[in-house]
Chains A and B, each alone.
Chain A
């Protein structure tokens, strides 16, 4: 297991308007890891991802990616460094076709060859997307949109993928597809920071986890340890 640090948040405080949502959040993600961020609705998991991306500027603290300071970097520059995002609610471009969405995700690629290679890879992971490639994305089902959001994030062959609630609203076989895809993607070198309410799923595929409460990290540890933790079991895994 590589211990090279890919992403590091140190004491990040951020929010909208007067009240901060995040209070001194510190998270580490190493190269080749799947790290999960667990927590109930509204604790600040999505805000954390948005702050990493640069959609929100932190008031305090530091964010480093591959050693470079990305704390105040605008989103398009953070993306150019190799960070991809599959947002909560998918946020696919409903006015574009499936293939146009994927091409949008490939915006940073330089050659047609790369574009074709990455497209083929995404199509092999999600054959359904290939079938529906000329369909307007807005007319896809929820599960297909999730596949598209993930596929779109993968088009740039990112170093780090930020995923926000990929299993939300999906049927069980699609949840499995998401999990399998993440594992596969991780195997080929992409690190993942996964925000999930489905704690069981997240802990199954992650190596390390953080549990957030009220905008701060309440608990962290190996996925296995977290899974065995009594608090976690009761609150997030529904095991009394």
Chain B
């Protein structure tokens, strides 16, 4: 029983990171109407920015976290400028290719510059350690990660549901042409969306660094797939849905691996695809209302 709860907690930690990644991913999906493969690299770039601030420049954790988020935003805006804007309005295939190229390009650049070897990401002192309740370890970092998810999630929901910008974003996701005729400047909204989505990826990167203590150039490759699946689970363009989707995936995947017999451990990556399969069969539009037509 303790083992189960312990793994649940680990799953909540991983799920929070996936939720944060999925939220940003689904926002761009809603607005641009397609998958941003480079979201994983925006996430990775944020982690590296924070890493350099922490380990090379020796800056305090708070500052490093902020720089990590800013780094993610910078790369996100670069991706928008180079991979999306020049081909705005082109067909799905073109956008797929540019998005994929951006992802591979950025990752390869980082591997060339920094290798794919793991780099340490040190935790601030106040997050070290755990509370022991019986046999259960409740890591302080897990509590911190969950708090961040709840706070950022609440702010995000407020933005998306109550503000003029949020309504404009959702209107645009559904019908961008009609949205324009209400005076909504779609180019501006696209940039704002990229900034927010990249910032969320940056937060996810800090959460990752704190939870797992190491980062690498290829760290965005697998999580971006999870972020995509979380978006599908939650309903495309639905930020709350993606957060829930991320938690479902994170908790599910962790429990799956925890109870998998050792000889089948290679099947661990199968889990997310099983979930995707189930959702597509049972409720393809996602658990919550999608924001795309």
Shortest CB-to-CB span from B185 to chain A, Å, is: 5
Contact check, A93 vs B186: say whether CB atoms are below 8 A apart. Answer: no
Task: List the B side residues contacting A108 at CB < 8 Å.
Answer: 182-183
Q: Known: A55-B177, A87-B178, A136-B289. Contact between A156 and B183, CB under 8 A?
A: yes
Contact check, A104 vs B173: say whether CB atoms are below 8 A apart. Answer: no
Shortest CB-to-CB span from B239 to chain A, Å, is: 13
Measured in the bound complex, the distance between the Cα atoms of B171 and A152 in whole Å is: 12
Is B181 on the interface with A (CB-CB < 8 A)?
Answer: yes
Is B260 on the interface with A (CB-CB < 8 A)?
Answer: no
Across the two chains, which residue of chain A brings its CB closest to B293?
Answer: A94
Task: List the B side residues contacting A75 at CB < 8 Å.
Answer: 177, 180-181
Shortest CB-to-CB span from A30 to chain B, Å, is: 22
Interface locus among B47-55, B162-170, B201-209: B162-170
Contact check, A85 vs B167: say whether CB atoms are below 8 A apart. Answer: no
Q: Known: A94-B293, A95-B174. Contact between A79 and B180, CB under 8 A?
A: yes
Is A91 on the interface with B (CB-CB < 8 A)?
Answer: yes
Is B104 on the interface with A (CB-CB < 8 A)?
Answer: no
Contact check, B167 vs A76: say whether CB atoms are below 8 A apart. Answer: no
Map CB proximity to B onto A57-79 as digits: 1 under 8 Å, 0 otherwise: 00000000000000000111011
Is B275 on the interface with A (CB-CB < 8 A)?
Answer: no
Measured in the bound complex, the distance between the Cα atoms of B170 and A136 in whole Å is: 13
Is B123 on the interface with A (CB-CB < 8 A)?
Answer: no
Contact check, A93 vs B175: say whether CB atoms are below 8 A apart. Answer: yes
Measured in the bound complex, the distance between the Cα atoms of B167 and A156 in whole Å is: 15
Task: List the B side residues contacting A79 at CB < 8 Å.
Answer: 180-183
Contact check, B181 vs A85: say whether CB atoms are below 8 A apart. Answer: yes
Contact check, A95 vs B291: say whether CB atoms are below 8 A apart. Answer: yes
The B-contacting residues of A in range 73-110, CB under 8 angstroms, are 74-76, 78-80, 84-85, 87, 91, 93-96, 100-101, 103-105, 107-108
Contact check, B173 vs A95: say whether CB atoms are below 8 A apart. Answer: yes
Measured in the bound complex, the distance between the Cα atoms of B291 and A136 in whole Å is: 12
Contact check, B174 vs A94: say whether CB atoms are below 8 A apart. Answer: yes
Is A9 on the interface with B (CB-CB < 8 A)?
Answer: no
Contact check, B184 vs A107: say whether CB atoms are below 8 A apart. Answer: yes
Measured in the bound complex, the distance between the Cα atoms of B164 and A108 in whole Å is: 10
Task: List the A side residues contacting B164 at CB < 8 Å.
Answer: 103, 107
Is A53 on the interface with B (CB-CB < 8 A)?
Answer: yes
Task: List the A side residues contacting B291 at CB < 8 Å.
Answer: 95
Shortest CB-to-CB span from B175 to chain A, Å, is: 6
Task: List the A side residues contacting B8 at CB < 8 Å.
Answer: none
Contact check, B181 vs A53: say whether CB atoms are below 8 A apart. Answer: yes
Shortest CB-to-CB span from A116 to chain B, Å, is: 14
Scoring B168, B183, B237, B292 by chain A CB atoms within 10 A of each residue's CB, the highest score goes to: B183
The B-contacting residues of A in range 24-60, CB under 8 angstroms, are 53, 55
Q: Known: A76-B184, A85-B181, A108-B182. Contact between A96 and B170, CB under 8 A?
A: yes
Contact check, B171 vs A93: say whether CB atoms are below 8 A apart. Answer: yes
Q: Known: A103-B164, A107-B168. Contact between A96 and B174, CB under 8 A?
A: yes
The 8 Å CB contact of B183, one of A80, A94, A100, is A80
Measured in the bound complex, the distance between the Cα atoms of B217 and A118 in whole Å is: 53
Contact check, A91 vs B178: say whether CB atoms are below 8 A apart. Answer: yes
Shortest CB-to-CB span from B35 to chain A, Å, is: 19
Measured in the bound complex, the distance between the Cα atoms of B182 and A53 in whole Å is: 10
Scoring A78, A85, A93, A103 by chain B CB atoms within 10 A of each residue's CB, the highest score goes to: A93
Q: What are 7 A-B contacts defined by CB distance under 8 Å?
A: A93-B178, A95-B290, A95-B292, A96-B170, A104-B179, A136-B289, A156-B182
- 7 nearest interchain CB pairs? A79-B183, A75-B180, A108-B183, A85-B181, A91-B178, A104-B171, A95-B174
Known: A76-B181, A85-B178, A103-B164. 11 other contacts (CB 8 A): A53-B181, A76-B184, A76-B186, A79-B181, A95-B237, A95-B289, A95-B291, A95-B293, A104-B168, A104-B171, A107-B167
